[in-house]
Homo-oligomer: A and B are copies of this chain.
Amino acid sequence: MKTRMRILITGGAGFLGSHLCDRLVQSGHSVICMDNLLTGRMENIAHLLGHERFAFLKYNVCDYLHVEGPLDALLHFASPASPQDYLEFPIATLKVGALGTHKALGLARAKGARFLLASTSEVYGDPLVNPQAESYWGNVNPISPRGVYDEAKRFAEAMTMAYHRYHGIDTRIVRIFNTFGPRMRANDGRVISNFIVQALEGKPLTVFGGGQQTRSFCYVDDLVQGIVALLLADSDRTMDQRTDRKFLLTQTGASDGPSIHDPVNLGNPRELTVLEIAGLVLDLTGSSSPITHHPLPTDDPKVRRPDIGRARTLLKWEPQVALEDALRRTIEYFRTVLHREG
């Protein structure tokens, strides 16, 4: 890839998208950030406005998608992404996963741009194996209220692979596990932001179910590092082989091992119970909030932990930031936010 690329990021005003904008602008690339601000926020990118290599377009990626000039890469991060958001906006979530991904792939194809899809550990649903490797097919309820996000992302992966195989687009798929850090929304219902805000406000920490369900949390700086590595990695297979129709119709599933075009898990394999996380947040904030238990939502996964062997092999990547340090930085962020908001 060129050292100075022109890159479109859909969902660029969201939590992850805005950190990607930062990193790529800092690295000397030009970034076009597209967001309809359904769940993204201008304050995440306010510091970039006016930068000569940054442009913001308020736009719904499901609509007719056009960008002037050349594009070297397109990162498709647009989607409601917290359970609370996709239960509130189920049809928008389905649309951006299907129609939005289709439009974005069409644009990448037209521009000859590399395409990176933000997929999710939710494609594994409520997994029957732990940790989850990329070869695991998942356990998702297609018709549950929660299924809209999972199925939208599974569909987006299927369409991305179809464009790779049949149109020869250079595509990448990252399956993002739980990530946290500054710019999470205080009220979007995620475990860590919930706990931190509750602890800082002296309110009870709400644990769903008994709290023995496990999660693995990656700090946002680590995750962004991995995404950029996946984006920049060289293609490792000739397009000719993958786009040969006869090859596709007759292949028996035999494989030469994972390709850079196959999905790659990114996340932190350190697994904690929800109760352990609550305890850490109470320790690090010095809060004396009590813990209260609430009914578990429909189809809430009981375990979730990435197998990151593929990322280690293909990208030489693994998380660097210790959980406690990462929590401290995030607590500091929310302290500032809450102080500013009074």
A: residues with CB less than 8 A from B are 84, 87-88, 90-91, 94-95, 97-99, 102, 123, 125, 137-145, 147-148, 151-152, 154-155, 157-159, 161-163, 165-167, 173, 245, 248-253, 262-263, 295-299
Contact = CB atoms under 8 A, between A and B. Distances in A.
A152 B158 contact: yes
Contacts of A142: 123, 137-138, 154-155, 157-158
A87 B248 CA distance: 8
Nearest to A295: B252
B143 A158 contact: yes
B125 A137 contact: yes
Contacts of A141: 137
Given A94-B162, A98-B98, A143-B262, 10 more contacts: A88-B249, A90-B166, A91-B162, A98-B102, A138-B140, A138-B142, A142-B157, A143-B157, A143-B158, A152-B158
Given A98-B102, A102-B98, A137-B141, A249 B87 contact: yes
User: Majority SS of interface residues in chain A?
Assistant: helix
Nearest to A167: B91
A154 B157 contact: no
Contacts of A253: 144, 298-299
Contacts of A162: 90-91, 94, 148
